[in-house]
A and B are shown apart, each in its own frame.
Chain A
Amino acid sequence: MSYFFEYRGITKTYPGVKALEDVSFGVRRGAVHGLMGENGAGKSTLIRILSGDQQANAGAILIDGAEQKFASVRDASDNGVMVVHQELQLVPDLTVAENLCLGRFPSRAGFVSRRRMIADVQAVLDDYGINVDAGARVSALPLGARQMVEVAKAAMVKARVIALDEPTSSLSSRESEVLFRMIARLKAQGTVILYVSHRMDEIFQLCDSMTVLRDGRLAAHHDSLEGVTRAQIVSEMVGREISDIWNWRARPLGEERLVVDGLAGAKLSIPGSFTARKGEILGFFGLIGAGRSELMRLIYGADPARTGRVMLEGDSYTATDPRQSIRRGIAYCSEDRKHDGILNGRSVEENITISARRLWSKGGFLRPGREAEVAEEQIRQLRVRTPSRFQDIANLSGGNQQKVILGRWLAEAGLRVLIVDEPTRGIDVGAKSEIYDLLYKLAEQGMTILVVSSELPEVMGICDRVLVMCQHRISAEFTRDTFSEQALLAAALPDGQNHSTAA
């Protein structure tokens, strides 16, 4: 069988780490090829080598039988290779059209022809069914639309190989559909698409063939997905069988602990109210932008509330400051770890002790022994995979970073409510089930846990009760016996007449 695109014996080492070892696989012309693996398995490195951003220590990339040597990102894109990263690479202050034409502005005698550029780009966008104005500034677009623009950019240069790194992580399901249609079009044009995703559904829906990486090595290559099962892929990814990663068990719930009464703020227009009980895992499901994170941030005091109150075991207050909330026993793990979760450049130890150290430090002085002890305890208890507590947290995988942030709160005393926002986003299967087990354990000890998640199987898998939010409103409530995928999704989707915010 002849492949249009091939990785041959790719090896990449960083000092002390072998990121990739002798990885070889090929993709046929016009095929969508899935790339899966736990975090740290080497997917990103493989993509980076393709993009020209990094160079392999050994091995080669072949396109249409010809060996390629990419010295830079520019070099790769000139040779028809485009990579759409999770962190988008658009210039926010330029228009969509300018971004798409960057480096190759249509010009006449050195002058950029704005009108022609916008018309050209608009034609491409319309052609792919992307509902975005070519003259709009990128910074004014929602995240999902930006992602689409990035993919359109790859389509516009008529790339021969396009790699998409977790493209749907910031898309609503409707936007994902548009993306999938684009992929189908590109595929029909003979483009090879490398599709990196943690979402099994998408892999099965889109891909013709796939590769699984584990610890920098090729764990499996499927030239066709016929007869391949999810369980098989999961076991290829982790090297062991995971039967039921949810593992939910019934547990007795205690008295009402948290009452949220009509909280609204600058980013949440409709006041939200709900109650949660001791030992309960309460889920919040909805589309991106439904207002779930915004409600959580108001409860925590991360954003100021305009109206409403929080009542915690009878003690009624308006949260104005995260410090206050922590002292009251409420902790919050944010949705975007990189943005407002981890302290970059600081050690695992410091990331764990940052908040709880007030419990033992005296007169503003640290107690290094105690800090180390607490950090070691959390690392052990949460099974954080790190060479030592001195390791810079930025070097840990997503799952381990998440564990460190959970450790930050578990080091606190008297925690009563734990809010986790997208607790397993971008986290591999193995770490996921460890995090779920931890949440169950905490709930059994009486912790009230609020889980925000955009993954339907996850909220249904781990929560005792789910509130669905839609366009800033809590639109429905479900208990375990009334859970159904259709019902939850239906409650999350906006009505036909006012769907403008979901675009």
Chain B
Amino acid sequence: MTSTLKKLLLGEQGLLVIFAIALVLVSVFVPNFLSTRNVIGLLQAVVTVGLVACSMMLCLATRDFDLSVGSTVAFTGMMAVMVTNATGSIPLGILGAIAAGAAVGMVNGIIIAKIGINALITTLATMQLVRGFGLIISDGRAVGVKEPAFYNIALSNVFGIPTPIIVLAVAFLVFGIVLNRTVFGRNTLAIGGNPDAARLAGVKVVRTRVTIFAIQGVMAAIAGVLLASRITSGQPNAATGLELSAISACVLGGVSLAGGRATMTGVMVGVMILGIAENVMNLLNIQAFYQYVVRGVILLFAVLLDNLRTSSGIRR
């Protein structure tokens, strides 16, 4: 009995099992948790971190790191609002945001993969640079949207499901396919496993890494546009600390910081665990200050669990 339990918790699907148990407990004991309103609210709350976690997963899988995503979300949200205001065209605004995000990602990627500077340092620098640009172009203030249709990006829905949630679902699907079913995804994991070996086996290591950073920038931009639409303005101080939430979600989901190990379902569960923890604490009226403590505890618990799993040898 105990050994089956141990196998279940420490096995490949251990996190999923724990997640399912937690979900059932929360549904039973927390009033209103399962209401449609709350579930949709919960999903909407995880859109930003979920989108960024998708690309962060690829980034971590190649042993890289990106701390600049929070700043990029704020900056690209600002770009979307300002370009839309200037041109009166929402598509142009979105395009501007995506171009800006891709540019930030490319710069990160080129400095890290081509020139060979440490990813932590590089993105620590670009994180501050991009945050600074956002503050400069907005003069430190929120930029209001002049085009009311801009709100509709986040407010619209398809069959009753808000668009941002659909976008997140599509992102999960696409990144799952990319990771598992494409040469690019396999190469990403191979590079994380051993970059030197991957290069000698004919993988374009530098190009793959730069591409991943560019994708990271684009995902941050998509998240930025949706966030700006939801909060109806471009906020230079939006999404602070998002990079840490995204990395937490990935680590919770079993992505190895040493590279070479990542699953999309894991990251989805990681994102949901963080989202549910926050949601439940809100429902139970627990003070926001405690939420940091709880998130820290969850992250430590997940890492310890992973360590237990690796050392018990059940995983592989």
Measuring CB to CB, which residues of chain A are less than 8 angstroms from any residue of chain B? Answer: 14-16, 300, 302, 322-323, 326, 332, 334, 339-346, 350, 354-355, 357-358, 361, 364-366, 368, 391-392, 395, 408
Top 8 nearest A-B pairs by Cβ distance? A340-B196, A343-B193, A345-B260, A15-B313, A323-B202, A326-B202, A392-B316, A346-B193
Cβ-defined contact, A345 with B201, below 8 A:
no
**Which residues of chain A have C-beta atoms less than 8 A from B187's C-beta?**
354
Cβ-defined contact, B181 with A354, below 8 A:
no
- Chain A CB within 8 A of B223 CB: no
Measuring CB to CB, which residues of chain B are less than 8 angstroms from any residue of chain A? Answer: 181-184, 186-187, 189-190, 192-194, 196-204, 256, 259-261, 312-314, 316
Cβ-defined contact, A366 with B196, below 8 A:
no
**Which residues of chain A have C-beta atoms less than 8 A from B184's C-beta?**
364
**Which residues of chain B have C-beta atoms less than 8 A from A354's C-beta?**
186-187, 190, 198, 201-203
Cβ-defined contact, A340 with B200, below 8 A:
yes
Cβ-defined contact, B183 with A355, below 8 A:
no
Cβ-defined contact, B260 with A343, below 8 A:
yes
Cβ-defined contact, B194 with A344, below 8 A:
yes
A366 to B194, CA, bound (A): 20
Cβ-defined contact, A15 with B312, below 8 A:
yes
With A14-B313, A332-B200 in contact, do A345 and B256 touch (Cβ < 8 Å)? Answer: yes
Chain A min CB distance to B143 (Å)? 39
**Which residues of chain A have C-beta atoms less than 8 A from B199's C-beta?**
302, 322, 340
With A323-B202, A343-B260 in contact, do A365 and B182 touch (Cβ < 8 Å)? Answer: yes
With A14-B313, A340-B200 in contact, do A345 and B193 touch (Cβ < 8 Å)? Answer: yes
Max chain A C-beta neighbours (<10 A), residue from B190, B193, B200, B314: B200
A326 to B202, CA, bound (A): 7
**Which residues of chain A have C-beta atoms less than 8 A from B182's C-beta?**
364-366
Cβ-defined contact, B183 with A322, below 8 A:
no
Cβ-defined contact, A322 with B202, below 8 A:
yes
With A323-B204, A345-B260 in contact, do A357 and B183 touch (Cβ < 8 Å)? Answer: yes
Closest Cβ neighbor of B178 among chain A residues: A364
A392 to B186, CA, bound (A): 14
**Which residues of chain B have C-beta atoms less than 8 A from A323's C-beta?**
202-204
A300 to B199, CA, bound (A): 12
Max chain A C-beta neighbours (<10 A), residue from B186, B193, B196, B312: B193
Partner of A365, one of B181, B192, B197: B181
**Which residues of chain A have C-beta atoms less than 8 A from B256's C-beta?**
345
Partner of A350, one of B189, B196, B200: B189
Cβ-defined contact, A350 with B190, below 8 A:
yes
- Sample (8) of A-B pairs whose CB atoms are under 8 Å apart: A322-B200, A322-B202, A340-B194, A340-B200, A343-B190, A343-B194, A346-B260, A364-B184
| New contact pairs (5) apart from A354-B187, A365-B182, A391-B316, CB-CB < 8 Å | A15-B313, A322-B200, A334-B200, A342-B194, A350-B189
A426 to B198, CA, bound (A): 22
Cβ-defined contact, B190 with A346, below 8 A:
yes
With A323-B204, A343-B260 in contact, do A365 and B183 touch (Cβ < 8 Å)? Answer: yes
Partner of A322, one of B189, B201, B259, B313: B201
Closest Cβ neighbor of B316 among chain A residues: A392
**Which residues of chain B have C-beta atoms less than 8 A from A322's C-beta?**
199-202
Closest Cβ neighbor of A302 among chain B residues: B200
**Which residues of chain A have C-beta atoms less than 8 A from B261's C-beta?**
345
Chain B min CB distance to A335 (Å)? 11
Chain B min CB distance to A334 (Å)? 6
Chain A min CB distance to B159 (Å)? 29
A322 to B260, CA, bound (A): 21
A342 to B181, CA, bound (A): 21
**Which residues of chain A have C-beta atoms less than 8 A from B193's C-beta?**
342-346
A302 to B197, CA, bound (A): 10
Partner of B183, one of A14, A300, A302, A361: A361
